[in-house]
Amino acid sequence: MKRFIWPNWENSNLNISATFADFLGAKNSIPTLSLLKNELSKGYKNIVFICLDGCGINPLKINLDKDSFLRRNIKQTLTSTLPSTTTNATTSLICNKYPLEHGWLGWSLYFNAINRNIDIYLRSDSQTKEPIEFNYPISDNTDCYFDNVKTDYEINSVLPSYVHTKHDEKRTVIKDEFELCSAIKEICKKKGKQFIYSYLPEPDSTMHIYGVSSCQAKAIIESINSEIEKLFNSLVDTLIVISADHGQIDVKGYIEGYKDKELNDMLVYTPYLDARTPAFIVKKGKKKAFETLFKQRYGEDFKLYKSKDLIKKGFFGKKGEYGYLLGDYIGIGTHTHKLFLSYKEMPRFKGHHTSLTEEMEVPLIILSKKDN
């Protein structure tokens, strides 16, 4: 069996945020990236960070030639978070916190107080999609590291309408790569030093629907590559840093876990977290039987770990209080690239992520221009 790519908290996308936080004078206790730190010391007028959702190393290699603009400017390969999913990774990136520090650990979380699985980004029941009003015991994901700093850089954000910061008055709302690049270009024209934090929900959305190797994914990634190249060529005295929250893989099959009555009867509640990293809370006295049954039926496609062992090894971060949200066990999807469906209604994505295979690798792309 191929090896997993575990989070490396010395060489992850979170370390990008730590380096920016350190540079801007924000509170930071996370290791920085020496390559990026050195580049920031050169005194650029404009500093831009772009997070391209899902645009990890695997989608880039599949859809762009090696001499394409983005690929030829990859300076380092970094890891994503565990799970390698948007909810978890983008919260880590924008808040500069380990997953265990913020608690936004996966798309769906189980909360004992209301006995429900909740899609926490949408704040709705994971199965019925009913909106749930509840005092969610996780951190504030609008607590951005760049919002409360004393710096000579003006702070800006360029984000979709559903992503908020504590200072939305500094936010430019965008829908696609064309609006993203246009907004960044206009901000960089402003007088004085500008820091821009930006996020684009593509190519993740397209790859979920059509797959990483689809012509649709190739078209959107080529468009992003082209627009960013044109943006960079139009700017002066600017540093652009690009990465992804995670990558994606082509899905090869689906496990209909909701049909396994014997397995589900051992559980306190329906499996949650993510489709390639399902979490399980097991009834008292059933753990040995659960381990045996799960490994027998699903061991080829998901490697089962005790959540407490993964937490102890630091795979969700070096510190934090939200490990209790991870249940008793986590099944980590192997290189067979299958999804575990906890509900009949769960989407059968053609492209997905959240596990520890190729989707864990993300780029550190650095574009620098000091000429005036």
Q: What is the pLDDT of residues 111-130, one digit of tens each?
A: 999 999 999 999 999 999 99
Residue among 217, 187, 213 nearest 204 (CA): 217
* Token pair in block for residue 307: 């959540």
Name the packing angle between helices 215-233 and 177-188 (round to 10°).
Answer: 10
Give me the CATH topology for the region 14-96+139-247+358-369: Alkaline Phosphatase, subunit A (3.40.720)
Distance CA(32)–CA(339), nearest Å, equals 34
* Token pair in block for residue 329: 């066990």
* Token pair in block for residue 267: 């559980």
pLDDT category at 315 given cuts 50, 70, 90 is very high
What share of the chain in percent tops pLDDT 70? 99
Give me the CATH topology for the region 105-138+252-348: Gyrase A; domain 2 (3.30.1360)
Domains 14-96+139-247+358-369 and 105-138+252-348 share a fold: no
pLDDT category at 372 given cuts 50, 70, 90 is low
pLDDT digits (tens, 9 = 90+) for 226-260: 999 999 999 999 999 999 999 999 999 999 999 99
Identify the pLDDT of residue 206: 98
Identify the pLDDT of residue 1: 65
Identify the pLDDT of residue 245: 98
> What are the counts of helices (DSSP H) followed by strands (DSSP E) for the chain?
12, 18
Domain limits, the chain:
14-96+139-247+358-369, 105-138+252-348
Identify the pLDDT of residue 370: 82
Residue 83 has pLDDT above 80, yes or no: yes
194-210: average pLDDT? 98
C-beta neighbour count of 10 within 10 angstroms: 12
pLDDT category at 148 given cuts 50, 70, 90 is confident
Q: Are 31 and 18 in contact (CB under 8 A)?
A: yes
pLDDT category at 371 given cuts 50, 70, 90 is low
